[in-house]
Structure formats: C-alpha cells, structure tokens
Structure 1
C-alpha cells in the first residue's frame, strides 16, 4: 500500500515525467479556475473536460495540435498549442436578447427535420471514454448506516463530508440504429456501479437525434410537441455563426421527460451544446453535453459533465461526473453484425477491470490526479474496509454462493441458500427438506453444459423427491439447446393454477389447500433452436408414470382439521407423448428472442403453433389424444406513454380421445384469491383453481390497454410516480361454459406487481366482483 501511495504522489508532483502527458489549465479573465469546460482536439478526435481546479491532461505523441474550447457562457476559443504546459484564458460571451420575437417552435421543427439525417449518417463507431466521479455524503440516516454495516462491515456515516471517488475507462462500440456495447476496461473507487451505470452510461448510450435518448423521450423526437413546451431565450454569436438558446419544459412531471436548455446552431440546426435536467427516484441530475463535428456533418458528443443531487431515506449528498471521449474509428457505411441480437444494449466488465494499477490509469486519465484520490488509496477507504457478504461463511449458507469456481471459471458448483431448503409444504408431501444446486461447465466459447439438480425429503410421505434439468447449449448464435429432464416428484394437476408458494403459505398458516397433486416419475428430452432470425423450432419427447396421491398430513399452524381431500387419489394415468412447437416473428429487424420478450420490447407480434400427441399403450391407462393449439401475442405502442397488448389462443382436440385424464385437459390460469401470485394481464383472477377446463376446444383472449396517464395520474401530486394504469378485458369460450368474461382496472408498478378491481360475467350475467393484489412470481420464474 505504501508503494502504491508513493507512486501516486510521484505522479501528482511530476506532471511532465512522461513525455506524452501535457497538462493545461483553464482560467477566466480574473485568473480563477473554470470547471467543466469542454476542450476538443480535432487531430485526436478527442474531447476532454477541465476539472474543478480548471486542469486538464492531454496524452499524445504529437508536438503540435489544436484546442477548441466550448461552453455556452464563454466565447468559443481555438488555440494552436506546442508547449507541454498550457494556461488558457477564456472570456465571458455576450448573450443577445434582441430577437425574442423568434419562435422557438420553428427552430425546434427545423432541428427535428434534420434529426433523422444526423442520426442516419453515422452507421457506427468505436470510442474510448474516461470518467471520473466524486460523491459527497452530506447526511446519512441511521437505518442506512446499519444496513451498510450488516452488508459490508462499514458505517457510511464515517464518510460523511469526505469525498468518495470513482474512475472508469470504457470501450464503446456503436452500430446503427441503436446498439451500444460497453466494455468496462478499468474500474476503481467506491461509488456503487448501479449509480454510475444509471447516471452516466444510460445517457451516453443514446443519441438526442433519435426518438428515445437513452431512457428519456428526446426533445427532438417526432412527438416532441406532445410532451414539451419550448421558449426562445436569446442567442450567442462568434461573429460567423449564431447559437440559439432554447428552453425545454416538460408538460407533465415524468421521469422519462427532460427539462433544460438546447443551444442550436443556426443554419445547420444541429445541437452545439445541451444542458438537461432529470428527476427520477430521488436523483436530480444536470447533464451538460458538448457536441463537435468530427467529419462530413457528423456532430456527436465529445464530453459529458453531470451533477447529481440525491435524497433517499434520509440520506443526502451530491455526485459529480466528468466524462471525456476519444473516437477511435467512425463509419458512415452500413455495418453488418454477426450477432442476431440487433437491438440489445450491453454493459460488460472485463475480467481484470478491477485490478488496474497506477500505470494503467496514468495512461488514460484525461484529468490530473486529485490529491484526494491519492488519499483514497490509504487504508481508510471503503474498498479497503469492505468485507463483502459472500466472504462470510454464514452469509453464504444463508443466501447461497459458489462452492467451487466462480461465474468466470470453466466449471462452477453453486449452492442456492436457505430459501430453497424448505422448498414446499403441502398436505400430500408434508415439508420438502433439501436443496437445489447449479452446475456449469464451459466446453468452449460456443457451448457449455448446465445442470440444476435437486434432492428433497418429503416428511409426510417419507420419500425422496429428486431430479435434474441438464442443458447442452450447442449453438449460441442460433440459441440451440438440448435439454434432458428427469425426476420423481409430486406435480400439480394444472401448471397454470395457484403457484406452489401460495399453496405452501395457505396450507401451513391458514389450513387451506387449494392445489391437488399426483406422483410423477418422468424423463423428457427437448431440443430448441432458431431456424433463422424469425423462426424458432422446439421438439420434445416425454415419458411419464403418473399416479394419484392422498393427503398424508393435515398439520397447519391455525389448527384447522377439515382439510380438503386430494383429487383422483386412486387413479393411474401414464403418458407417452411428443410435442412440436413453432414460434414465428414476422418483423425481421428483431430476433425471435427479442420478440418473445414482447412486454419489454413492444416491437413485434409473435405467432406460435403447437401439436401434441399422447400415444402408445405399453404403460398403464395411457392417455391417448391429439391436440393442436396456436395463437399470437403482440404489444402495440401507441405513443411513448400508451400501449395495447393482446394475447389470443385457440385449440382443439382433433381425434377420438382414449383414457384422456383430467391433467391432460386444457387448463387456464386462474386463482380466486385476494393476494395473487398470477398476472394481472394474462390470467383469470375471479375463477377458482380448477373451475374451468376443457377436453374439446376453446378460444381465449386477453386484451390490455396500459398508459402512464389514463385517469389517476393526471392528479398533479401523482405525476411522476412509477406506476402505470391498465384497463383489462379477458374472455374465454368453451363448449362447457359458453362465454366467460372478466373486466377490470388496475395500477401496476411493472408487469409483476399491482392491484386492481375486477368484475366477471358468465354468459352475460355478473358472476363475481373483487379487488386483487398481484405479485406475479410465475413470470419471474421463481414460483
């Protein structure tokens, strides 16, 4: 540690020790340092920023180069430099307000007209960015202090009013129209990565010239006038070019909308500088972005300066980020990517990102090192005190962790912690005691093998329940996967009924067993692969021995003794079957993987068709049938705040059915409980568990309208709150019940959590009404 400290002190005092490092300082007319001045070096395609002391650093082998200084409040200055140490004096610019009759809307319309051309001219680039962050805690709530000590063995209050730092060095690859891949090559410091990623990287991985500027609605979007008001404030001029200052004001308070100022160059209508404010989840940010023309009208950001004020659970402070960008390559030609995932943004941390030494940082640091950063490398930094929850053996036993290897190793064995020890409780099995494990072995860069074995003891049945899913990922590009599943366990008669978690809770605490189970001994083989970008094929073969079960216990904490008996307790209903399923996404700009995540991407319909056949008589009471079903799911974005999604499915049993058992009927997601672990959007919330099923044919529709501002959120104090309003229509037709309909209104915080009021109709007559709280664990795949 002393050696490292000496190295940093040496670097700080010797600003010219390396020939390629040239340090400069920006001062105003009174000799005071100026923070946040953007400096562009055309010969290097690089932008840098002055720090709080006005200093900046240039790393180059060139002896002569040009500096172009830009900031709205100061005169644009161009200076040819040959010295190693540079002091630059900048002067305040004159702001003119004599043309206030100019309409801001007309200037914005010109910029919107040009925006498409500016966004399309650039087909790709590779850039490198250096980011320095400085966080100051002003207040720390005692609750947050205790949490910090429990998790990381530190008291955050010890760092009150002491600056914490973060340095990042990133490589970014951009491919038109909207794909950003960020590789973090170096990371050092104590500011949480989640804050840095949300506050810095989300804005940098976007363009103000497209409709979506990161997660924000751009003020140059084609729908801008629906969400923003614009006001002309005045202009600056350098004698040749006018820069119009336009104020942006959002019409409603929403975290997806921006406020602030745009400086627009007259004639080209390109953005020269932007100062934008955001307010989201306790973070108030001001982001200053300097633009420069690199070539042929390609004007892109060369530096970012962000100031963030945060307030969360009584903990307050500020964060300051400075980002300098150097463009390594720029393409105006279409780039063809090997990877099918054309619209996915990624942030990846290189293996050695956290291990970079002082030599690395001095090579890429575009601001001289602060004295305070040197002190951070002392033993009282958070990084040096942080123990890390995974290092406690007790914590690993509680929350799980790697027993062998790590995420980056060729092989690992992972234990899943206490939450999986007592996996289930029901009156058939009793309590499940055991655990599940994760195993992965990387064969090469193209493939790996994953296994998820589990083993449990059922206390009431006095029986071992065990099995595993083993997957061979043999073609990453086409998502080719071969999966072998086998096991012996109890299974619900309907996979779409109440989740086992909900039945677990109600059985143990309330004495209510909503689900019924049978014994399933099985082996199955499945293969899925993307035949092309728009078509996915899945085939399966399944062999099952299935038999009814009785309740083996009635224990519950409420003391209730009248327990509902398990259904079909004496039946035997084996099955040998195969399945063929196709998914088709007609919009070629997106892969089928993206399209299947329709509620996230909202881009394309997904059609599916499935054929099932149960055959053979070699087992006992083999279920024989032929079933075909198909449907479409689609989410249609009406504008940035409103969308419609629908899901239609229909199916039919197409042959004479022999020994077709209840469990092979077509079931529908339903659960008539106040607290529900199914979805508000695509399940029935006023139907009992096994109330409706069919062995003939059916038609099913789920239609949902969702909007950020439908009714309640027009109330001023609710604007900006993170919930969505939804209107639901759900219908089902079968020959047994004819028509069943549910309608409702809900508010949801995402697709997984919400509350709503619903009414159901059976053949046009009101059947039920009720309020339902939804925590959709099934969609999270943890139910």
Structure 2
C-alpha cells in the first residue's frame, strides 16, 4: 500500500496536467468596433474547421484550444470581417479585435432580361430559385449546439412586487439558462436532439430546447409562420433594395434591404446578405413582431460542407410589456462540429441561367444530363420533381414534421468544471451573479420538494374543514388523488333557487402511468329560497392504448338543468345579470336521471360517442324576487322560455328515454410528432359531423317519441398573410316529432349578455337563447374572419402593437322563422388580453338590434367539453 499510493498520486497528477493542457488554454479577448465600443455577439470562426463561438453581450469571447496555430475569422453584421493567425502554447492567449464599419461597393450592374426595378430583384429571384436546392442538397446533418438564454424583468406592477420578491424574482437582475445538445436533422423535416447538459438560475427547470431556434430555415416559405424574404411569394410582401456588395475571401456578398410592403406581424424588416453566384445566404439581420412583441433575428452562416451554407450563430432578442410587466430575453446559439451527408441524388452539373442568358457560372449538382443549361423556371421545376420523388420514399407520408428530444441522465448534474470547458459564450458579470444568487435557492427548493413520508410518498398538506370553502388537492396514495373544488367560487343566484351553493370534487385512481383511470365526481347543491337539496355523481373510466382512447361513464341523481343541455348560460354570468339588472336569462327544470355513455376515439381524426338517458322531468317556478337594484319598470320574467313555435312551453311531469350517437371525422389526416407522440394538424382538413338523437316511447315509461338528425362541417385555416378564416355550417331536421317537450327542441348557441363567447366561430352574439328553438328543419352558418389589415390596422403603429381586426357573420333559418342575420366587427388583442365586438342583427332585410360584447382575445385557445 505504501508503494501504491505514491504511484496513484503520480498518475493523478500526470492526468491533471494532461487535462490542464487541453482545457486551460486557448484564445480569448474582446471584439470592439472602430470607435472602441464592444461589439456584442460577434461570430468567431476557426478557418478550415467546422467550429467557432460567439462573443457575449459585452463583446467578450473565448475559445478553448490545444497547442497549435489557428486562423481566426471575426465576423459581425455591418463590419468588415477580420482574419488573424494566433499561436496557442500552454496558456491562454489574449487577442482583441477591432472591426471597421463595412463599406459597400455600388457596382454598375446590368438588369437581366425580363427583370424590373432594382438589381436586388435579380439577386432575390436567383436566391428564391435556389432556395429549395439549398434545402435539399443534404440528406442529413449533425451538429453540436450551445444555447444561452438570459432574461431580465425590468418592471412589474406595484401590487405583485411583494409576491415576486417572495418567489425570489428581482427586477433588473439576470436569469440565465444554458444547454449543450447534439442536434440531428434528416430530410424532409425530422429533428432529433439529445441534451447533454442543462444549467439554469432559479428553479432547476432547464432551458428550452434549442432545436426550436435552429430547425427553422429562411429557405422555406415561412419561418415560424412569418413570410421569409426568400419565399416563393416574397415579392407580394416585400420590396427589395440593393445596397452594395463587399468581398469576403473568394466570395462577393450582396447586401439587400428587406422592406415590408405592410409593416407588422408576419413579415420581416432589415437586411439579408446573399453570396454572389451561389445565391446562398451569408447572414441575416432582421426584425419582426409577434402579437406586437418585437423580435430581433440575427444569423451568421458558414460553409460547413462544399457549397453547403448553414447558420452557425443565432441571436434572438425578445422584448415587450404587458399589463404593467416589462422585460427582455436574449438567446444566443452557437453551432459547431458539423457532420453533413450530401444528397447523392443530385449528381449532374448544370448552370443557372436567366430566361435567355446565364447569370451564374457556378456549377451545382443536379439530376439532369451533363452541362445542361436551365433557366430559373426549369431549375425550380426540376428541384420540385426531386422533392416529390424524395417524399414518395417516406415511410409514413402522414407525418409532416418530426421532433424528438431526450435528456442525458447526467445533464442536470454537470459541475462548474464541465461548464468552464464547454461554455461557448463567456458569462457576463451579471450572469455570474445570477448563478451565485440562485444556486442556494435551488438547493433549498429541491430539499423542500424531496421531503417524503414513511411510505415514500411526497408529503402534501393535510385536510382542513376550511378546504371545503377554499378548495384543495390531496395525494391519498401514489395512484390515488382527491380534489375539492372551491365552494367560494360556486356560490350563485337564480330566480328558481335564490342564492345557491355547490360543493363538488373528484376522487381519481390511476391504474398505470395515466393510461387507465377511474374517477368519481359527486356534486351537492342547496337552494336557500327553494329549500331544496340536490345531488348528482359521475363515475368515469378511461383507457388509452396506442393513441386510441376508450371511455365509459355512468351518472345519475336529482339536479336542476337548463332547457338547453349544453348550458349556454354560465351560472356566474346569470347571477350578475339577475342581481344587477334583473335579467334572469337562465331557465331551469328539475331532472331525476340515470345516464350512461360510451366514447371511442381511435385517432385524433375520428371519434364516436353513444349515450342513453332515462329521466323524470319536472317544471320549476320562480322562488325569489331578490336583486341589488329594483327598477320599477323591470320585473323578472317567468321560468318558462318564450318561443315563436310553442306559445306555451310549460309542461307536466313526465318520463323520457333518449339515446343519441355522434360521429366526428376529418378525411385528410396528417401529423407532426414530438418524442414519438403524434400531434394532429387539424388545419389541413375540415371536420365533418353527424348527430342522431332518438326519443324512445314506452321504454321504462318514456313519454317522448321523436327522431332528430343533424349534419355539419367546420374548419379553420390561414387565408393569407396574418389572416385566418374559421367557419361552421350545420343543418338538421326532425324526421319524427310525435311527442316532444321543449327541452327536446333544437336550441342554438345564443347569447344575450355582455360577455362574448370563447368560441368566436360557431356562436351568435345577439340571438335570444330560446326564441328560435325548433322541432322542424333548420340551418345555421357562422363565419369569423381575422384580417391582418382592415381599418385601424392600416396604421402601422396599430399593427405593431399587436391589435387584430375581425369581421364575422352569423345566419339562422328555421322552418317557421324568418331569415336571421348578424354582422359584426371586433378589435382583438387589446392590452394583449381582451376582445371587443360590435354586432347588428336583421330579420330578413329589416334591422333588428345593435349590441356590443367583451371577451377574451382569440390568441387564448379555450377548450370546452
């Protein structure tokens, strides 16, 4: 042992020296402009290799290297690139750079035959003609990506500052996340990522996947739903101006000013740099906005394989303010260690030409005979054909886009030594302070989260009687959970029950990893004026197997129900309109029932449900005349709906047995995938609907006898730049209406209150809830059209603030009613949250009513059952 220990120490020391020689040396310094100011996020390349790095926000850079002599090229958009040989020995070499502002040579250029306007148009057309080739010239590639994201909260409302402080969030301090990943791209659009390391301040949640930034390409028609300057329709949305050229190595780089014809979301503004002859992107410096939030996008490209130019440095700056909060977030991504597999199908040489004369002498590999000369149209046609052939070879043509991400088990355990060696962009002092500030908070928070009881289950708060009022969530055991809904938010008023209170909750058991579950959800309700206690409960079983979802439910009890069983009037809204304005829109009846149902959804594009219900239905009358205000001119209406087809909607107590089946189907099926999970692309196909409802006479004493069938279609899709069209059409009839009660009529998605529906397409704004309900034939049509530029949005400042304008129209015709129309306008995304609508209704050609509605902005997708 005495001999062994000295040897071990000697070996360890030698190993330490080796690691020190590998990692504790390289080149570092500061990149400045000619005026001495630091240049943030300048790109640093190792000439002749596929690696590089980026400066940080104050111009500092460092690149770790073994001993040797390296040629460094420093590049920053708007500055003359600089190359310098630097020798590295056994320590860090300090090498600062000072870049001059780039001058541009305005050459005398000849506009090609058939070209119009600026020489920029010729360059952009050539680049557009080559864009698909640049996307298809490789079958796959791999790269290593370092991503750093740093955000600062600059301003917050005074009433939340205390809460933020308690959560450890401070103003004007850096919150940083870093990650190192290996990214693989395969044609046509498959990205897989393995996260090697993650580090972040605050909670140990890691950084978002960098693949969301590097997977998008300006060679496609859209980049994150924004029109690319190299889109096939680019000239419809942009004007281009040639600003000159400069030489970098053996390449001539053209600077093209990108000018949107209409500023706002969905378009870029700034500069794109195109390499002469190759017509590839050299770099981009563009600005855009999403919902009014400004975004800066900068990319530097490098030749990572022969004639293959890919972005190696990305910078994304996000900023904005909403509801008193203001802040900014910056992402920097550095891509290196490229391994590119060229597309061997592109094997023959060709020359890109003008319609009659060549504009390029560079040879590219194309699937045509040797020395063929093609104009742009022929070139595009040939590449389109190559793309079609490639798509035919896809294993699953329904998969449009694939994304997968895995995380190394050690990703969150990398120590500071690892990050010192792997970090591509140096941390600023502010970012270092942020890490020191939050490391201790992460440890404390992790300890709190790891506290477990003797059974190995994480501790949760104990039940308290107060939770019946405030609500709560409890973990009874590992597979069993219990939820109590807050009773304080379920205290309502209606004229039938007066003030009423609801107590509800759910007990749920998960059999195996959430694939099978059984839940029991009881509800108790008491009306203080009707002095009636109601109760009901639902037992639900759900199973998911290879994407197919099967569910059964059984429910029953004695409860109140709206005549429209889709419950268009929320109890809270009815409480407000009743207590403040004496408008009791909600009409109720009592139902003692037992209902069972089965649903099957084998895919996201087809679903079927079958339900059967037996019910004893009884009429209810008003029991309360209370309201906060009592204008002499307004009394509460009776609890009987008013209808043009049935002058008396009162009914005697009766039994009803009703069965129904509903089918939904989308004929065009396509997906994107994330970690193997299919995510449907509904925008590519309309949804077809079929509903059939049958009232069965005599069964279990049933007093109803009717047959109703309904067909429908709905769809939503982009209708131009920044515009979207949603529509829904439904039509139906009662094949048999021998014995029906008013709750069995067809009711429509109406509205009489000031709040707009969360479903803008498919709902009426001013229609009475029950006036047009029918037991005959009917048709409805609803259209909602979001337009990028209409009235106020013609003003660029309004578009840049993220406001949207919409037009909508609704139509209803029943067998016994006149044609009912609604036309309206809405201003959307006000303060990023609200939507204001105005609407006018007509009966045939006669004006009926004008009204306004306030709702949630359509950017918030609200899912209803």
Distance between the aligned counterparts of 1:564 and 1:348, measured in 2? 61
Distance between the aligned counterparts of 1:125 and 1:516, measured in 2? 64
Distance between the aligned counterparts of 1:723 and 1:669, measured in 2? 27
Q: Work out the number of aligned pairs and report it.
A: 754
Deviations 1:321-365 (Å, cap 9, x if unpaired)?
322235787676769688977458799999997776546645643
> SS where residue 736 of structure 1 aligns?
coil
Deviates more, 1:567-576 or 1:210-219: 567-576
CA contact (8 A) 2:183 2:211 kept: no
CA shift in 2, pair 1:33/1:692, >3 Å: closer
Distance between the aligned counterparts of 1:352 and 1:358, measured in 2? 13
> SS where residue 782 of structure 2 aligns?
strand
Deviations 1:682-717 (Å, cap 9, x if unpaired)?
222222110112212112222333311022211344
CA shift in 2, pair 1:370/1:220, >3 Å: same
> SS where residue 564 of structure 1 aligns?
coil
How big is the shift at 1:291? Answer: 2.0
Gaps of 5+ in 2: 1-15, 110-117, 344-389, 450-459, 641-648
CA shift in 2, pair 1:170/1:500, >3 Å: farther
Equivalent position to 1:565, from 635, 638, 641: 638
Distance between the aligned counterparts of 1:285 and 1:699, measured in 2? 45
Equivalent position to 1:132, from 142, 148, 152: 148
CA shift in 2, pair 1:314/1:692, >3 Å: closer
How big is the shift at 1:471? Answer: 4.3
Distance between the aligned counterparts of 1:690 and 1:633, measured in 2? 23
Equivalent position to 2:280, from 270, 288, 308: 270
CA shift in 2, pair 1:369/1:771, >3 Å: closer
Please list, as runs of the form range in 1=range in 2, the aligned pairs for 1:529-608 lying within 5 A after superposition.
529-530=601-602, 534-558=605-629, 562-567=635-640, 571-590=652-671, 602-608=683-689
Please list, as runs of the form range in 1=range in 2, the aligned pairs for 1:137-216 lying within 5 A after superposition.
140=155, 143-144=157-158, 146-153=159-166, 159-160=171-172, 162-169=173-180, 186-190=198-202, 203-216=213-226
CA shift in 2, pair 1:259/1:666, >3 Å: same
CA contact (8 A) 1:427 1:555 kept: no
Q: CA RMSD in A?
A: 4.8
Alignment partner, residue 702 of structure 2: 621
Alignment partner, residue 305 of structure 1: 315
Distance between the aligned counterparts of 1:237 and 1:76, measured in 2? 12
> SS where residue 622 of structure 2 aligns?
coil
How big is the shift at 1:232? Answer: 1.5
1:459 aligned to 2:550?
no
Deviations 1:591-641 (Å, cap 9, x if unpaired)?
899xx999x964322222223323252334343322221121123433113
How big is the shift at 1:164? Answer: 4.0
CA contact (8 A) 2:54 2:334 kept: yes
Deviations 1:27-84 (Å, cap 9, x if unpaired)?
5699997642334569985553233453334599x99998665444243649798866
Alignment partner, residue 50 of structure 1: 55
Distance between the aligned counterparts of 1:607 and 1:339, measured in 2? 23
Alignment partner, residue 5 of structure 1: none
Distance between the aligned counterparts of 2:482 and 2:679, measured in 1? 29
Gaps of 5+ in 1: 1-12
Equivalent position to 2:104, from 68, 84, 96: 96
1:254 aligned to 2:264?
yes
Equivalent position to 2:474, from 391, 394, 403: 403
Distance between the aligned counterparts of 1:44 and 1:473, measured in 2? 53
TM-score between the two structures when normalised by the length of structure 1? 0.81
Equivalent position to 2:510, from 421, 441, 447: 441
1:746 aligned to 2:826?
yes
Deviations 1:295-317 (Å, cap 9, x if unpaired)?
46543322213445555667666
Please list, as runs of the form range in 1=range in 2, the aligned pairs for 1:369-768 lying within 5 A after superposition.
372-379=430-437, 383=441, 402-404=473-475, 412-417=481-486, 420-422=489-491, 427-428=496-497, 430-437=499-506, 439=508, 441=510, 443-444=512-513, 447-449=515-517, 451=519, 453-460=521-528, 461-468=531-538, 470-478=540-548, 480-488=549-557, 489-494=559-564, 495=566, 497-520=568-591, 521-530=593-602, 534-558=605-629, 562-567=635-640, 571-590=652-671, 602-615=683-696, 617-654=698-735, 656-677=736-757, 679-749=759-829, 754-768=835-849
Please list, as runs of the form range in 1=range in 2, the aligned pairs for 1:336-355 lying within 5 A after superposition.
342=400
Alignment partner, residue 24 of structure 1: 27
Alignment partner, residue 425 of structure 2: 367
CA contact (8 A) 2:292 2:803 kept: no
CA contact (8 A) 2:461 2:474 kept: no
CA contact (8 A) 2:27 2:65 kept: no
Distance between the aligned counterparts of 2:63 and 2:509, measured in 1? 45
Deviates more, 1:166-175 or 1:624-633: 166-175
Equivalent position to 1:38, from 5, 19, 43: 43
Deviations 1:148-183 (Å, cap 9, x if unpaired)?
322551686x654x5443324456665655676778
CA contact (8 A) 1:442 1:448 kept: yes
Distance between the aligned counterparts of 1:475 and 1:170, measured in 2? 32
How big is the shift at 1:674? Answer: 3.6
CA shift in 2, pair 1:546/1:590, >3 Å: farther
Distance between the aligned counterparts of 2:473 and 2:768, measured in 1? 41
Deviations 1:626-673 (Å, cap 9, x if unpaired)?
22211211234331133433221111222x334322222211111233
> SS where residue 699 of structure 2 aligns?
coil
